[in-house]
Amino acid sequence: MEIIILPTPADVGRVAASLIARVVNEKPAAVLGLATGSSPQDIYRSLAARVEAGELDVSQASGFALDEYVGIPLDHPESYASVIARDVVEPLGMDPAKVRVPDGRADDIEAATREYDEAIAAAGGVDIQILGIGANGHIGFNEPTSSIASRTRIKTLAPSTREANARFFDDPADVPTHCLTQGLGTILDAKAVVLVAQGAGKADAIAAAVEGPVSAMCPGSALQLHRHATIIVDEAAASKLT
């Protein structure tokens, strides 16, 4: 695990974007693992600026989102399909046909999640997976107690995660109770992972993920088992590291 501590959230986004740009420049048809939420927004903005400046071309790359809510329409502005289209595919000029999000509306969820993992494998695996981390240590929506070997599946969102994500919805009661998420095992299969965290609210989770025991109680700690994991944090998120 490599830990990079930087002064500001903008620095975190810029340096993480450099890692991703390097992968895409070396392999234009790279497979990107895409997170949603606030944490990767500076990464996407920084990548979009490079695309705009003609320094980066992501048009041949493909992408797999980490997760999706169950129980909201595909065209809901906060479905991760909508968020990925708005915040990633459009600004980066990715090919929408090459970007997939788990299907939270599938009739047969088990088949849909199994097929999602098969599609990642068929694409040759994720070259670089972008991750944020929840205040309770979740990555993807693998909440505490998730198996480190887990694959893409349906999960119940922790009450604290629903509360944290209520900021994206008009009414806290509208936050879905369930989601589909890549499993910890699926995430660990990525060739490289880059996790970003900003702010004091993530300091406990970062300390537990980086310095705590590898434990299902802190899903982010599973990244200690990965051979090419980079954790990029600002000083506030690093404040509880020893």
- Contact residues for ligand F6R (CB under 6 A)? 35-39, 66-67, 132-134, 138-141
Beta carbon nearer to ligand F6R, 39 or 152: 39
Asked if residues 210 and 138 have their Cβ atoms less than 8 Å apart, the reply is no
Q: Is 25 a catalytic residue?
A: no
Beta carbon nearer to ligand F6R, 39 or 62: 39
Work out how close the CB of 13 gets to ligand F6R at its nearest, in angstroms, rounded to a whole number: 12
Active-site residue identified among 42, 67, 68, 103: 67
Q: Dihedral sign for Cα 48, 50, 51, 52, please.
A: positive
Work out how close the CB of 57 gets to ligand F6R at its nearest, in angstroms, rounded to a whole number: 25
Supply 11's token pair: 């620095």
Query: Which residue's CB comes closest to ligand F6R?
Result: 132
Q: Is 143 a catalytic residue?
A: yes
Q: Is 110 a catalytic residue?
A: no
Helices (H), the chain: 9-26, 41-52, 80-84, 90-92, 109-122, 159-165, 184-188, 203-211
Beta carbon nearer to ligand F6R, 63 or 140: 140
Listed residue (44, 42, 48, 45) closest to 234, CA to CA: 42
Work out how close the CB of 26 gets to ligand F6R at its nearest, in angstroms, rounded to a whole number: 25
Work out how close the CB of 53 gets to ligand F6R at its nearest, in angstroms, rounded to a whole number: 26
Q: Is 165 a catalytic residue?
A: no
Active-site residue identified among 42, 117, 127, 143: 143
